[in-house]
Amino acid sequence: MIRIANGQGFWGDWLEAPVRLVEQGPIDYLALDYLAEVTMSILQKQKQADPALGYARDFPPLIGRIAGKIRERGIKVIANAGGVNPVGCARAVLKAAAGLRVAVVLGDDVFSRLDEFLSRGYPLSGLDSGQPLSTIRDRVLSANAYIGAFPLAEALSTGADVVIAGRSTDTALALAPMIHHFGWSDNDWDRLAAGTVAGHIVECGAQATGGNSQVDWQSIPDMANIGYPIIEAEPDGVFTITKHAGTGGRVNSHVVKEQLLYELGDPRNYLTPDCVADFTSIQIEDSGPDRVRLQGIRGGPRPASLKLSISYSAGWKATGTLVYSWPQALEKARAADAIVRERLRLLGLGFDEIYTEILGVNACHGPLAPDASDPPEVQLRIGVRGPDRGQVDRFTRELVPLVLNGPPGATGFGEGRPPAREIVAYWPALIPREEIRTRVEVVE
Amino acid sequence: MKVPLSRLAHTRSGDKGDTANIGVIAWDPRHYPILLRELTPERVRRHFGDLVRGPVERFELPNLAALNFLLHHALGGGGTVSLRLDAQGKTLGAAVLSLEIEADDLVE
Q: Identify the CATH number of the domain in which residue B62 sits.
A: 3.30.70
- Closest CA–CA distance from residue A71 to any residue of chain B (Å): 37
Is B106 within a domain?
A: no
What does the pLDDT read at residue B104? Answer: 87
Residue A259's pLDDT band (cuts 50, 70, 90): very high
The helix/strand/coil state of A427 is: strand
- Identity (one letter) of the amino acid at A8? Q
pLDDT, tens digit, 9 for 90 and up, residues A386-431: 999 999 999 999 999 999 999 999 998 888 899 999 999 999 999 9
Beta strands in chain B (DSSP E): 2-4, 9-16, 19-26, 56-61, 66-71, 100-102
Which of A256, A196, A205 has its CA nearest to residue A228? A205
pLDDT, tens digit, 9 for 90 and up, residues A331-385: 999 999 999 999 999 999 999 999 999 999 989 988 888 888 889 999 999 999 9
For A215, the closest chain B residue by CA position comes to B10
Per domain, the residue ranges of chain A are 2-108+147-303, 310-425
Q: What phi, psi does A245 have (nearest 5°)?
A: -60, 140
Q: DSSP readout, A159-186?
A: T-SEEEESSB-HHHHHHHHHHHHH---T
Is B30 within a domain?
A: yes
What does the pLDDT read at residue A333? Answer: 97
Helices (H), A148-260: 149-156, 170-182, 189-202, 253-260
Is B71 within a domain?
A: yes
Select the residue of B21, B59, B98 nearest A368 (Cβ to Cβ).
B98
- Identity (one letter) of the amino acid at A175? L
Is B17 within a domain?
A: yes
Look at A367 and B51 and tell me if their CB atoms are within 8 Å.
yes
Is B102 within a domain?
A: no
- Closest CA–CA distance from residue B15 to any residue of chain A (Å): 6
Question: Is the model's pLDDT at A307 over the cut of 80?
Answer: yes
In the A/B pair of chains, how many CB contacts fall below 8 A? 127
- Closest CA–CA distance from residue B32 to any residue of chain A (Å): 14
What does the pLDDT read at residue A245? Answer: 98
pLDDT, tens digit, 9 for 90 and up, residues B3-43: 999 999 999 999 999 999 999 999 999 999 999 999 999 99
Question: Is the model's pLDDT at A18 over the cut of 90?
Answer: yes
What does the pLDDT read at residue A340? Answer: 98
Distances (CA, A) of A126 to A195, A198, A311, B16: 29, 29, 11, 14
Total domains, chain B: 1
Domain ranges, residue B32: 2-97
* Mean per-residue pLDDT over chain A, rounded: 96
Question: Is the model's pLDDT at A39 over the cut of 90?
Answer: no
> What pTM value is reported for the model?
0.96
Residue B76's pLDDT band (cuts 50, 70, 90): very high
Question: Is the model's pLDDT at A176 over the cut of 80?
Answer: yes
Which of A205, A137, A190, A198 has its CA nearest to residue A172? A198
- Closest CA–CA distance from residue A94 to any residue of chain B (Å): 34
Cα A295 from Cα A238, distance rounded (Å)? 5
Look at B12 and A385 and tell me if their CB atoms are within 8 Å.
no
What does the pLDDT read at residue A45? Answer: 85
| Mean per-residue pLDDT, A55-75 | 97
Select the residue of A212, A263, A428 nearest B15 (Cβ to Cβ).
A263
Taking an 8 Å Cβ-Cβ cutoff, which residues of chain B contact chain A? 10-12, 14-18, 21, 23-25, 27, 47-51, 59-64, 66, 68, 70, 76-77, 79-81, 83-86, 90-95, 98
Neighbours of B45 (CB within 10 A): 16
Select the residue of A267, A359, A367 nearest B85 (Cβ to Cβ).
A359
Instruction: Name the β-bridge partners of A307.
Output: A430
Look at A368 and B64 and tell me if their CB atoms are within 8 Å.
no
CA angle B46, A214, B94 (to 5 degrees): 20
CATH architecture of A310-425: 2-Layer Sandwich (3.30)
Cα A166 from Cα A40, distance rounded (Å)? 9
| Mean per-residue pLDDT, A431-437 | 97
Is B107 within a domain?
A: no
Distances (CA, A) of A228 to A22, A66, A67, A72, A392: 11, 16, 19, 21, 41
